[in-house]
Structure formats: structure tokens, C-alpha cells
Structure 1
Amino acid sequence: MKVKRHSPEQIIRKLRTAEQLLSQGQAVSDVCRALEVSPATYHRWQQLYGGMKASEAKRLKELEQENSRLKRLLADAELDKAMLKELGRGKLLSPERRRRAVMVLQDRFRVSQRRACRLAGQNRNTQRRPTPIADIEEGKLRSRIRELARRHGRWGRRLVYRRLRLDGWSVNHKRVQRIWREEGLQRPLPRKRKRSRPPGGSRELLRAEYPHHVWAIDFQFDQTMDGRRLKFLNVIDEFSRACLAIRVGRRCKAVDVISTIEQLLSQHPAPTHLRMDNGPEFIANALQEWCMGNGSATAYIPPGSPWENPFVESFNGRLRDEFLNVELFASLTEAKVLAEQHRIEYNVYRPHSALQGRTPLEVIQQWKAA
């Protein structure tokens, strides 16, 4: 049964009718029957509106409605304030971040999507639209950057950017820098070393004009876990920056240097020049006689001038930073295996800044193709 609702004006008119009937001597039950209301309703009307005029009752009803509206607005404002605190500081610049913010507000405050979108500044059509392909690609790119940073702990964002370009990613350096910063990735800064280069600069160096024109040779030292010394012989092709050999041993004499170079000649043409320092292994008569017999000239650098052999010194710095300072060698055999793996990765996988982001292998292949 549908309950009939009475407006304040109707209630006032019925109460006046009831007063007239009561003044005529009718009982309250008869008056209620005439007004078609129950005695309880009649007494409640009498308590609320007794002695009022129709205009006063209407005004009271309007005040009650206004009071209810103000209370609702105050509650909404407090809820909006709480939701804004939940979003935290900063601006929601991207649609994807606003989409996630709307979902958080709906889940924690049980509000409608319309209200959450209004508070987060998100269009409802954008919120309901499925995740675009660009966001999926962004997630894949972030995952790849984290993988490279985890695999190569000493690589910075510039090397990661060049590696991504080589892998076929259509991305610029600013986007990689933004993701690198958002993911909290950071490469420890290298220590600044004092250089003893003379004020007048160095003399004009012999520059490599084609692959295997100039090979640079130098030594590096490390040790195994038992404290025994490891001696690394590094051979670099100056034109392509390719690492031709990393010989690892407890010691390395002139005959070992000759043996390493002869092994390289089975895979590469003989170099025109060998750039070395004045170490006893390099100035030995056996090595000089071998060079004369194979048509390779020696290009010794002045004593105490490592900057005269810059390409192998640069490689030594990268080898120390990305390999020797990272790996812990348990034995000589392990050092040989890991050194060979690093040499192959350096030539084939690692982009080189001096080669415009290319790898040494790509430089050699492009030279042969040209």
C-alpha cells in the first residue's frame, strides 16, 4: 500500500479543519477518521505544526532542507580533502598515473568513478579506455632498462641508451634519462685522477687509418683470492677499438708476448705498427727481432708518458671498472674464462662512445662493406 505524503501547507489546512470539528463537539477519533489519518499521525502533526501558519511551515521545511544540504556539502568537502591527502604531493602529469590514482580512490574510499575522476582531473572516457599500446611498450622498455642496469652494474644511462638503440628500440636519450631517474638507477661516479700531462701537450701521435694498422699493447695486474698475482696482456686495434686478446697468466715474458701476437696472426693480418711502452718485455731483443722479421714497426712511447698510448689506456680503465673491480677470481683458469667472455662482450655487445654508439665489430664490418 502506497503511503500518502503531505506537504506542510496541507498539514496546516487539515489541522485547521480538525480545530473546527473539535469546536463542534466531535471526538478526536471521529476527527481523525474525517481527515483520513491515524491518531498517532494527528498528534505528531499537532506537536510539530500546532499554532503555525502555512508560510511559517513552508519556511521551516526550506530551512531543514538547506541544513541537510549544507551538512552533505561539508561531508563531501572533508572527504575530498582526505582523498587529496591520500594522493600525496605533486602533480599527476600522465593519464596512466591519473588512471591509477582514480583506482586507488575508488578502492580505499568507496566513491564513484565520476567523483574520483573529477578529483584526479581525469576524463571519464580516458579512464574507461583500455590500457593503450604505448603504456605496454613503456612497461617493456622499463623492464629492459632495469635488466641492463642489473646485468651491467657499471654501465650508465648513456651506455644503456646506446645499447637500446643497437637492439632496435626507437627511443631518445631524454626518455631513457627520465625512466632511469624514476627507477632510481644510478651509477657510482668514477674518481677523478690527477694527470701528469706536461703543459706543452704531447707530440703528434701516429694515428690508425684502417683496421690492423696500429696495435696497442699494455699490461694490467690483479690477483686471485689466494693473493697470487695475475698479469693481463691486452692487445687493442686502435682503428676499431676492438680487443684482440686478453692473455692472463701469473707472469708474462717477451716470448709470451710474441706467442700471443703469433696466435693473433692466424686470425688477423699482421699489424703495420705496434705501440708499446718501454717495459722490459717490450724492449727485449727477441720481440724487436720478431718485428723486423714480420715487417711490423715498433712505436715506443716516451718513458713516463702513458697518454702517448691513449687507446689501450682507455681500454684498461674500462676493463678495471667493468670487469676487474667486479669479478673475484678463485683460480687462474676462472680468470682466463671470464676474461675471454668479457673480451667477446666488449667487441660484440658493448657500444663505444668514440664510435658513435657502435660496437667494434660493427665498425670492422662497415669498413669491409665499404
Structure 2
Amino acid sequence: MQVSRSSLSYTLKMPRKSTPVIEAMRTLSGQFPRFGSRHIRVLLGREGIVVGRDRCASLLAQAGLQVPKKRRRRQVAGSRPRPHAPATRNSVWCYDFVFDACANGQQVKCLTVVDEFTRECLAIDVAGSIRSSRVVEVLGRLISVHGAPRYLRSDNGPEFVSTALLKWAVQENIETALIDPGKPWQNGTNESFNGKFRDECLAMEWFRNRIEAKIVIEDWRTHYNEVRPHSSLQYQTPAEFRRASECISTTGAVNL
């Protein structure tokens, strides 16, 4: 029987040697469904599986494990640069609120606090309502553990510009770095963190009540600090980066 070549088609098959890699990718993608090829490649490396950057992206695509890309919001040209760039741990802490709701109708308000230098999430305080007095209480607890920051960066929300908080900041010798109204990118580190928090935690979970939300969110915060590779830290975790920076600082002090 003669068949025209033009009517034939070839189905591309993945090489068998790629099968273990793809299975490992499936496992990791199941655990971290919002991770793309760069983060999956780092996690594979931790398991001793070395995969090139392009091959990792290709295998993820072939296996149908790619994460849909989000459209980035366009920034307004001519905005002033972010003041008070962090140089060390505790140079700048940034904080903001993220909102969600539980299956039982309870509202969830989350205060997120991030060290801009190490990218560590120092706290995610979860409650139904968070006023300036509670913000001061959370910051006070963090200072007792980590020491005080030089600056606190935030937007102009009422909780962050209240008389009680500003008076407390003066007493603690902390300067407030308020961003320009309508320019959230000036608080870019916290905006970026909150986006990951929404995408990888809030959007992936369905909390039955606020108590469950507190537990799950705290587990995610620990995972973010100690497990999740961070692209701006050369794919170290924030905890790894902090420890490395502390070692460098200590070594430098000894050498002096």
C-alpha cells in the first residue's frame, strides 16, 4: 500500500531518559503549583537533579506544567526613585495590608512586615480588624526579636499615619518613609511580597474560618522564608541570605 508522505505526521515523544526528571517536576509542581521553570530548576538541583535552564523550561512545557504568565502593570514614567534603599538587615522594614475572606463569611485582614534587605517576612498578623494600636503591638514584638529598623516604609493608610504610631516611632528612634499617594511601586518590595502571598497562598487555599487561616498562613510564611528560592537573592531563601550576610558582617568585623 502506498501512502503519500504529505499525509503522514510524526508524534514527538519525550526521551525515556527525561522521564525521571519529568516525574520529579510533576511532584514539585504538585507541591508548588505557582512555581515556574526557574524555581523548579532550583528545587531539582537541591535534590541532585541538574537540568539546564532551557531544557527545564522545555520539559515543563512538554509536560503541560507551565504557569500562565501575568500581565505586568505599566508604571507611570517620571516617578521619583524609591528613597532609603536598604544596605543591611534592619535598614528598612516595609509593611502593608492584604485582605481575604473565609468560607464562613469571616473577613481576614493581614498585616505583612518584610525586611527589604533580606526579603524575610518578619510577620503576617491575621485578624478581622487591625487598628494602629495593634500595628504598634506587632512591631514592638518584632523589635524585641530582631532589633529596630532605621526606617518603616508604608503607604499613607490611616493605620500607618496615626498619631499613636508616629509618636511610638519617634520614641523608638525610627523614621517613617511614607510613599507618594497613588504610587505603590515606591513600596515595591512589599508590593512584590504581597503579590506572591496572594498568588501562592490566599488564591490556593479556602479557609473555613479565621483560626484555620492563621495556621495555614503562618505555615506559608515559614515556607517562604526557609524553603522558597528567591530570584532577587540569586535563588537563595531569605533565611539563607540573612545567615550569609551575617557571616560576612561578622567576618568583616573580625578582620578589622
Using the size of structure 2 for normalisation, the TM-score is 0.88
- Match among 259, 264, 289 for residue 167 of structure 2: 289
1:23 aligned residue? none
1:326 matched to 2:204? The reply is yes
2:27 aligned partner, one-letter code: E
Secondary structure of 1:368's partner? helix
Shift of 1:344: 0.5
C-alpha separation in 2, matches of 1:332 and 1:279: 23
State the alpha-carbon separation in 2 of the partners of residues 224 and 93 from structure 1. 43
Q: Does 1:89 align with 2:10?
A: yes
Per-residue displacement from partner, 1:115-163 (whole Å, max 9, x unpaired)? xxxxxxxxxxxxxxxxxxxx4xx54432221111111111111211122
For residue 169 of structure 1, report the CA deviation from its aligned partner: 3.0
Residue 241 of structure 1 corresponds to 119
1:171-250 alignment runs, 5 A limit: 171-190=51-70, 192=71, 194-195=73-74, 197-250=75-128
1:353 aligns with 2:219: no
8 Å CA contact 1:166–1:358 kept in 2: the answer is: no
> Could you list the runs of 5+ residues in structure 2 that have no partner in the other structure?
249-256
Asked if the contact 2:82/2:186 (under 8 Å) is kept, the reply is no
> Kindly tell me: are residues 193 and 220 of structure 1, through their superposed partners in 2, closer, same or farther at Cα, counting changes over 3 Å?
same
Matched residue SS, 2:219: helix
Aligned to 2:38: 158
Q: Is the 8 A contact 2:97 2:112 kept in 1?
A: yes
Q: Sort the Cα spacing of 1:264 and 1:149 in 2 relative to 1 into closer, same or farther, 3 A.
A: same
Alignment partner of 1:146 is 2:67: no
Match of 1:298 among 170, 176, 187: 176
Q: Structure 1's 298 and 337: CA in aligned 2 closer, same or farther, altered over 3 A?
A: same
Give the letter for the 1:152 counterpart. Answer: F
For structure 1, list consecutive stretches of 5 or more residues without a partner in the other structure: 1-77, 97-134
- Equivalent runs, 1:256-271 vs 2, <5 Å: 256-271=134-149
Give the aligned partner of residue 339 of structure 1. 217
Asked whether the equivalents of residues 154 and 187 of structure 1 are also in contact (C-alpha less than 8 Å), the reply is: yes
CA displacement 1:58-115 (0-9 Å, x = unmatched): xxxxxxxxxxxxxxxxxxxx7xx99xxxx97257795x5xxxxxxxxxxxxxxxxxxx
Cα distance in 1 between the residues matched to 2:20 and 2:228 = 21
The one of the two structures with greater contact order (alpha-carbon pairs below 8 A, sep at least 6) is 2
AA at the equivalent of 2:42: R
1:276 to 119, 141, 154: 154
Normalized per residue, which structure has more strand? 2
SS in 2 for 1:319: helix
Match of 2:191 in 1: 313
Which structure is higher in helix share? Answer: 1
Give the aligned length: 245
1:228/1:175 Cα in 2 relative to 1: closer, same or farther (>3 Å)? same
Structure 2 residue identity aligned to 1:251: S
SS of residue paired to 1:208: coil
Residues in 2 aligned to 1:92 and 1:296: alpha-carbon distance in whole angstroms: 60
Q: Percent identity?
A: 36
CA distances 1:289-334 after superposition (whole Å, capped 9, x unpaired): 1111111111111111101100000011111111111111111100
Alpha-carbon distance in 1 for matches of 2:13, 2:207: 49
Q: Of the two, which has the highest radius of gyration?
A: 1
Distance, in Å, in 2 between the alignment partners of 1:222 and 1:210 is 32
TM-score between both structures, scaled by the size of structure 1: 0.62
